Amino acid sequence: MSDIRRQSIISSIIVYCGFALGILNTYLFTREGGFTKSQYGLTSTFMAIGQIMFSVAAMGMPAYLYKFHPYYAHHLPKKKNDQLTVSLITGCIGFLIVLAAGLIFKDLVNRTFDNSPELIRYYYWLFPFGFGLTMFSLLEAYGWALQKSVVTNFLKEVLFRLLVTLLFTLTFFGSINSFDGFVIFYSFTFLFIALILLTWLIAGGNVNFTFTISNVTKKFRKKILALASFTWGAGLVFNLANVFDTIVLAFVMRPNGLEAVAIYTLGQYICSLIQAPQRAIISASVGPLSQAWKDKDMGKIQRIYQRSSINQLIFACAMFSLIWLNFFDGIETFRLQKDYAAAFSVFLLIGATRIIDMGTGVNAQIIATSVFWRFELKTGFILLLIALPLNYKLTQELGIIGPAISNIISFSIYNFIRCSFLYKQFGLQPFTANSLTTLLLAAFCFIICYFLFREKTGIGWILIRSFLFTGLYAAGVYWLKLTPDLLPVLQTLKKKSGI
């Protein structure tokens, strides 16, 4: 657990540094006199469509990298390890299929998104963006399997956003003289960081490309094909369900779908602050979980499951409460465009969804690295069957809040099914008495800070509210001993600081 803890903490710090840049970028997009709501909505739609392109093009390769890496590493010298070569070639072939489909169905896309003219205008630039995201995601999965999540998280969470900040700066000072130029450079950002990651892996001796099929690939080819096929379907339906809210807003909302996407994206991005530790914990857990299944170490899997649950829940409740306390004050203090205040209801619903998802721990990764990985496909289809029609219907009837309501319903059912499966099949469950205590502690600290400062506005009061909540909450977590990982972390900090 110490290695997972160390990588999770370092990755969490990196992720939050990335989110600091993300907040800056969001401010530059949404402030008065900045980019238009349609332009902000366009970049969000690029990301949503890029995720779908990756899901199709990857052909199940990320799961293949997670699941089979221990076998390749154990049975093959690095020079004969063909796992990454197989994955990247498969990803390139998959993206050629995506590209062909995109060109064939371009007219259909034009008719579907006739209320989002910017998306039609920059349609072709979606493909370098999607290809870069595909290549980076495959290399990222390989990095996770190598337990090198700190570097991959830095590139994705910090460097990517730093590149976007750089594009803003160049546009502001006229070096990029139009939004057209901004979009062109933006479409190549993921391809750039994919090349950096590949170079780093090669320089570290972690990659040796070989075009000779290894004995391990031959031996496990049937299992690899079965795993890739099922997880490809599962990943596709999960990612489609995950980004369909953005896409459905883009083509349902009138008169301009991308303006609705912009408001929704603000609420969604703010909620990603809640989700930041989840990315770090998942990336640090995948390798150890794969090894634990190989070693049949159920005790280790249960520890990872419960600790991932309580650690994520503590972070999620804290961030949700802090954002809620300061939401409207932040809109006013930082002079965002007033229309973005409508994102509050989106934040509340998606934030609650994130708490549910994080509080149930790394259940998806436990299933995906087990022999029951096919179950991921089944639950993915259930999620898709619930989320897609519900998203579309509620968006038509309720507007921007519709997808948020759909998400909390569909993802709650999705996580309930997965947790029930793990409990029934293996006796694994993520919750302890401290789970309920964490929720009560967060509510108690929130109520105190809300009623003390609810009529106070300005940057000073934002800081006072935030510091008071953080102090009360952190003290409660410490004295109630809500997580077994806190004391080792504090002892390490004391040792390194010489206290």
Give per-residue pLDDT as tens, 267-323: 988 888 888 777 777 777 877 888 898 888 999 999 999 999 999 999 999 999 999
Q: Which domain holds residue 260?
A: 2-431
> Which pLDDT belongs to residue 323?
95
Classify residue 102: in a domain, yes or no: yes
CB 39 within 8 A of CB 118: yes
Classify residue 493: in a domain, yes or no: no
Task: Give the mean pLDDT of 141-149.
Answer: 85
What lies within 8 Å, CB to CB, of 12 at 6+ separation is 276, 277, 280, 281, 315
DSSP 6-53: HHHHHHHHHHHHHHHHHHHHHHHHHBTTSS-HHHHHHHHHHHHHHHHH
The total of other beta-carbon atoms located within 10 Å of residue 468's CB is 16
* CA dist., res. 394 & res. 375, Å (int): 28
C-alpha distances (whole Å) from 420 to each of 12, 291, 365, 384 are 28, 23, 15, 19
Over residues 67-124, the pLDDT tens digits come to: 888 889 888 888 888 999 999 999 999 999 999 999 999 998 888 888 888 899 999 9
Indicate the number of domains in the chain: 1
C-alpha distances (whole Å) from 376 to each of 213, 306, 307, 315, 346 are 28, 20, 22, 26, 28
Helices (H), 427-485: 433-453, 459-479
Classify residue 459: in a domain, yes or no: no
Strands (E), 199-257: none
Task: Give the mean pLDDT of 441-458.
Answer: 94
Classify residue 154: in a domain, yes or no: yes
Task: Give the mean pLDDT of 2-24.
Answer: 75
* CA dist., res. 165 & res. 23, Å (int): 10
Residue 13 has pLDDT above 90, yes or no: no
Residue 352 has pLDDT above 90, yes or no: yes
Provide the residue type at 245 as one letter.
D
Classify residue 121: in a domain, yes or no: yes
Tokens representing residue 51 in the block = 């995720």
pTM of the model: 0.79
Classify residue 140: in a domain, yes or no: yes
Task: Give the mean pLDDT of 111-140.
Answer: 93
Classify residue 456: in a domain, yes or no: no
Classify residue 376: in a domain, yes or no: yes
Question: What's the first-to-final CA gap in the chain, in angstroms?
Answer: 24
